């Protein structure tokens, strides 16, 4: 089986975790219909305080289910939606994607804009989990593992079982940075 959506989640309120749904609707240029982060301009509270006119490069949050498998080995139980993601995937190396990669989710298209920056709320959810989501490797490089963010290019319905296609942009691979 190829890459697939395993769960979809949303919340109309600014909560850390999001409720699982049978399906979500992506809206071009805005994000997930009914989600608190829907909009052309930034919706994350800390970023709104800095500059509410900045573009919303975090319309959709995606996490790979393989991450939940990995943290389970360290004793953490994390289910889809609990890390605040809208789309949980399996079979796609989200963290290894390059800037400008487009994910095809059924008819919908999401351009990956960057890495999620893990925050202290992760430890509020499960003490010690933040160290699993962000750490320094042996060379001292900061490694962020809490998923990727994207913007909706083409809207459409997304549900568990939706196949995922990956369109890599032409040219040299440019690693994702924090957004």
User: If pLDDT is split at 50, 70 and 90, which confidence band does 168 have?
Assistant: very high
Per-residue pLDDT at 138: 96
Mean local confidence (pLDDT), 107-122: 95
176 falls within a domain: no
Per-residue pLDDT at 44: 83
179 falls within a domain: no
14 falls within a domain: yes
Mean local confidence (pLDDT), 87-95: 98
Query: Quick check: 90 pLDDT over 90?
Result: yes
Q: pLDDT (tens digit, 9 = 90+) per residue, 49-60?
A: 889 999 999 999
Q: pLDDT (tens digit, 9 = 90+) per residue, 16-55?
A: 999 999 999 999 999 999 999 999 999 988 888 889 999 9
160 falls within a domain: yes
CATH number of the domain within which 30 lies: 2.40.33.20
99 falls within a domain: yes
d(CA 128, CA 79): 16
148 falls within a domain: yes
Which residues form the domain of 64?
Answer: 4-167
CA distances from 122 to 26, 64, 84, 132 (A): 25, 16, 10, 10
The count of domains in the chain is: 1
Mean pLDDT of the chain: 96
d(CA 156, CA 15): 24
């Amino acid at each position: 089986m190829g890459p697939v959506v395993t769960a979809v989640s949303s919340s109309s309120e600014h909560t850390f975790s999001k409720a699982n749904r049978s399906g979500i609707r992506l809206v071009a240029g805005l994000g997930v219909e009914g989600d608190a982060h829907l909009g052309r301009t930034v919706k994350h509270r800390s970023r709104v305080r800095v500059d509410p006119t900045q573009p919303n490069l975090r319309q959709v949050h995606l996490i790979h289910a393989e991450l939940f498998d990995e943290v389970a080995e360290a004793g953490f139980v994390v289910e889809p939606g609990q890390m605040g993601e809208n789309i949980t995937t399996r079979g796609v190396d989200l963290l290894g994607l390059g800037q400008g990669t487009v994910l095809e989710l059924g008819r919908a298209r999401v351009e990956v804009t960057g890495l999620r920056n893990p925050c202290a709320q992760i430890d509020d959810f499960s003490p010690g989990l933040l160290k699993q989501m962000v750490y320094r490797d042996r060379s001292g490089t900061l490694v962020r593992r809490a998923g990727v963010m994207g913007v909706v290019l083409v809207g459409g319905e997304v549900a568990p079982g939706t196949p995922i296609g990956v369109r890599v942009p032409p040219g040299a691979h440019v690693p994702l940075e924090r957004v």
